[in-house]
Structure 1
Amino acid sequence: MSTSDRSQTLRILIGCDTFSPDVNGAARFAERLAAGFVRRGDDVHVVAPSKRVNRTGAFAETIEGERMTVHRWTSWRWYPHDWLRFVLPWRARSYARRLLDQLRPDVIHIQSHIVVGRALAKEGAKRGIRIIATNHVMPENVLDFTLLPERAKRLFVRWGWRDADRVLRRASAITTPTRRAADFLERNTDRRGVLPVSCGLRASDYTADLTPRTRNELVFVGRVTLEKEIDVILRALPRLDPALDVRFTIVGDGDQRKNLEKLAADLGVANRVTFTGRVSDEQLRGHLTAASVFVIASIAELQSIATMEAMASGLPIVAANAMALPHLVDEGENGYLFQPGNDRELADRISRVLALSDADYERMQRASLEAVQAHDIDRTLDTFDALYRGERPEA
């Protein structure tokens, strides 16, 4: 097949350790990627853990409105985590061998180096199949679920990066969502030339309300887990001027919900905080449109699709100055950054946004809408189309 002939469709195999119905950035990216290439006419197959034991097979599933084949491999629940499931490594290798011999894809795009991605990369390399790898994982992010003592955690991180390197070296191209994430990967492994490629989104799927505000509502969207540091946002609420009557909506669910509900009660702000639990995409977009400010205190974001969704909804952003979040916030233009963990500074930044005149607030909204255009999903698909065909992506 000519690498420059886009009239020829590709058979693409996307390998995921987390995928629908999971709710997280890596899963959302894989879903949009798969659906995007289905719309372009390619033959897309996805490998992902099953949601039930002893459920291995190929299933026609609708993902992001598109029908595709999802190969579900028998998986097991990781009980320290609230939803994570994993495929047994020795079974994954066996599943990968059978699937690759049957499917014969043109390219394999792995979304992690953990189990599914590792098996597909190893077996794919043996068969001379082009492998593209996107890294969504930092070993540091999974420490809360390892049950390891502190000293062992440090050893785990060093082992985790060496282990990632052993898998990623099989790829002909490696991408991460941002330049900062790419630099982080290069510092911790022997990989070089890592490409920053935005996870992307279709901004037209979101609605911005540019009319003057009638209430002050903060919103966070994402998993309710330790790494998101939602407690920092809750601690900032009592520091805000009571006259502002600020409400806070937490859209999502996770293992920290009960702890955060208790913290909100202890801080005396429970009557101003709403936990929605898991919601539909339509409901999620509605919460973003209705809000005044998107707030995120996480210190472990490799990009943050939720923040981009908020920008596409015309929201000013107040974010922790950590990992990739500064890439999405132009200080004073579409929002503000604060020192991670500093709830006093966070309260100050929120107050600055809420104190803006209607004209200045709208200017900040429009800055978010403009900035998110750089993350258009079609640019992302064009880049991966080139990588899949063995080409150098256009700058």
Structure 2
Amino acid sequence: MGADTFLPEINGAAIFAARLAAGLVQRGHDVHVVAPAASRKHGTWTETIEGEPMTVHRLYSWRWYPHPWLRFAIPWRIEQNSARILDEVKPDVVHFQSHIITGRGLSNQAQKRGIRIIGTNHFMPENMLDHTLFPQFIRPWATGLAWKAAARSFGRAEAVTTPTRKAAEFLENATHLKGVIAISCGIEMSNYTPSFEPRTENLILFVGRITGEKQLDKLVRAFARLDKSLDARLELVGGGDQEHQLRSLANQLGVGDRVTITGYVEVEYLRHALTRATVFAMPSIAELQSIATMEAMASGLPVVAANAMALPHLVHDGDNGFLFEPGNVDDLAERLTEVLTLPEDELQKLKQSSMKIVEAHDIQRTLDTFEDLYRGVLVTEDSVIERPLGKRARLRAALRAVAGGKREE
């Protein structure tokens, strides 16, 4: 498995790659991950990822200083490194999570050796260009070059996937590839704990990177426009380059005492925050799926999200939350107010609906589908959608439904 970003880095692509790799190890597969070194130390060793041991080949990397933490493998060494690792490991399949550097080298060298190749795209230009020094007038040209590079790497793959149908259409239009399959990143629902106790506070929660493309300034401004009688609080769980700016903005708007920005936190804190929140807010306009939103839904939270990219696939307006016009602060404030003023029984319906919708994204289904792709089984989007949940996933869903009913009573 090749990844340009991998744990300990925290972002959707890194988390998906880690959970997929760990799930495959649990199923008895021998998984090797090729990723940039997280520090100057590089080489091959065993790492415990998501509780599972696997071999990780950490490539010599440099820091990308326009970004707060990103490191990248050296582009002119990637072909040599990929050839060496593939010849040592002799894998049955190569699955790359990004075409930018690691995926380019692995896919090119795997093709030369006749190894089955699967490619998954998590890339959005908006998520990268904010962390470059490119002036605005150059960005369309840079975006075009990036998609041409993507077309070359993904063109070597026997199957190309991306997390949602919207993201698949976006990739097809940008690269002229055909037949991109939408496969959810998936989450382990049993890791999250919904609460059906009557709410005791109005807590608005965001979880994710505190960066420009998430449009968190819009969320802070919308929060400042809420009626003070709601006695609401806003908690942004995560870290990034916008922490200082958002704290300053909250103070300027007079809500600094009710806005918390945690910085990077442990998983236990994150899951507890999802349990105690009232509503989850996702203002980003560049989400190919949003694992954070799925985690919130698995925690039984209604969601207020931008009506952009893949978020409408998760947030069904009026069913498990509300969509707002992207970038519209007043609309966001109105939708948050709508959730925070709902009668308790209506709020409980949104919570139950979130849990029901996210059941289709159980990671066991995702693992089943990728195993089929690795074995060369023909996978269509209809077969992914119609694939039944495994026994363990069905049992967990039933137990959660029973627990939810008891808590409501």
TM-score by length of 2: 0.92
Question: Which residue of structure 2 lines up, in the alignment, with residue 322 of structure 1?
Answer: 308
Question: Which residue of structure 1 lines up, in the alignment, with residue 182 of structure 2?
Answer: 196
1:299 has 2:296 as partner:
no
Counterpart among 25, 33, 43 of residue 38 in structure 1: 25
Paired with 1:20 and 1:338, the residues of 2 have a C-alpha distance of 32
Paired with 2:378 and 2:368, the residues of 1 have a C-alpha distance of 11
Cα RMSD after superposing both structures: 0.8
Counterpart among 330, 334, 339 of residue 320 in structure 2: 334
Segments of 5+ residues of structure 1 without an aligned counterpart are 1-13
Paired with 1:230 and 1:146, the residues of 2 have a C-alpha distance of 20
Question: Which residue of structure 2 lines up, in the alignment, with residue 357 of structure 1?
Answer: 343
Please list, as runs of the form range in 1=range in 2, the aligned pairs for 1:133-172 lying within 5 A after superposition.
133-172=119-158
Paired with 1:67 and 1:137, the residues of 2 have a C-alpha distance of 27
After superposition, the C-alpha distances for 1:101-149 in whole angstroms (9 at most, x for unaligned) are 1100000000000111111001111000001000000223211112111
After superposition, the C-alpha distances for 1:87-110 in whole angstroms (9 at most, x for unaligned) are 111212111111111100000000
Paired with 1:322 and 1:36, the residues of 2 have a C-alpha distance of 30
After superposition, the C-alpha distances for 1:241-279 in whole angstroms (9 at most, x for unaligned) are 101111000000000111111101111110000111111
Counterpart among 120, 123, 126 of residue 109 in structure 2: 123
- Matching residue's letter, 2:167: A
Question: Which residue of structure 2 lines up, in the alignment, with residue 7 of structure 1?
Answer: none
Counterpart among 240, 249, 273 of residue 287 in structure 1: 273
Paired with 2:7 and 2:19, the residues of 1 have a C-alpha distance of 11
Please list, as runs of the form range in 1=range in 2, the aligned pairs for 1:168-183 lying within 5 A after superposition.
168-183=154-169
- Matching residue's letter, 1:123: Q
Paired with 1:244 and 1:344, the residues of 2 have a C-alpha distance of 16
Paired with 1:391 and 1:384, the residues of 2 have a C-alpha distance of 10
- Matching residue's letter, 1:32: R
Paired with 2:226 and 2:265, the residues of 1 have a C-alpha distance of 28
Paired with 2:210 and 2:354, the residues of 1 have a C-alpha distance of 24
1:107 has 2:93 as partner:
yes
1:259 has 2:234 as partner:
no
Paired with 1:123 and 1:354, the residues of 2 have a C-alpha distance of 54
- Matching residue's letter, 2:137: R
Question: Which residue of structure 2 lines up, in the alignment, with residue 48 of structure 1?
Answer: 35
Question: Which residue of structure 1 lines up, in the alignment, with residue 4 of structure 2?
Answer: 17
Paired with 2:122 and 2:152, the residues of 1 have a C-alpha distance of 16
| 1:333 to partner: Cα distance | 0.9
List structure 1 runs of 4+ shifted beyond 4 angstroms. none
Question: Which residue of structure 1 lines up, in the alignment, with residue 43 of structure 2?
Answer: 57
SS in 1 for 2:326: coil
Size of the aligned set, in residue pairs, is 381
Paired with 2:172 and 2:127, the residues of 1 have a C-alpha distance of 17
Q: 1:238 to 1:139 in 2, by over 3 A?
A: closer
SS in 2 for 1:145: coil
Paired with 1:83 and 1:39, the residues of 2 have a C-alpha distance of 30
TM-score by length of 1: 0.95
SS in 1 for 2:224: helix
Question: Which residue of structure 1 lines up, in the alignment, with residue 397 of structure 2?
Answer: none
SS in 1 for 2:262: strand
Counterpart among 115, 128, 132 of residue 118 in structure 2: 132
SS in 2 for 1:198: coil
| 1:56 to partner: Cα distance | 2.6
- Matching residue's letter, 1:22: E
SS in 2 for 1:332: coil
Question: Which residue of structure 2 lines up, in the alignment, with residue 5 of structure 1?
Answer: none
Paired with 1:19 and 1:196, the residues of 2 have a C-alpha distance of 21
Question: Which residue of structure 1 lines up, in the alignment, with residue 297 of structure 2?
Answer: 311
Paired with 1:261 and 1:213, the residues of 2 have a C-alpha distance of 27
| 1:52 to partner: Cα distance | 1.7
- Matching residue's letter, 1:359: D
SS in 2 for 1:204: helix
Identity %: 57
Question: Which residue of structure 2 lines up, in the alignment, with residue 70 of structure 1?
Answer: 56
After superposition, the C-alpha distances for 1:14-50 in whole angstroms (9 at most, x for unaligned) are 1000000000000000011000000000101111110
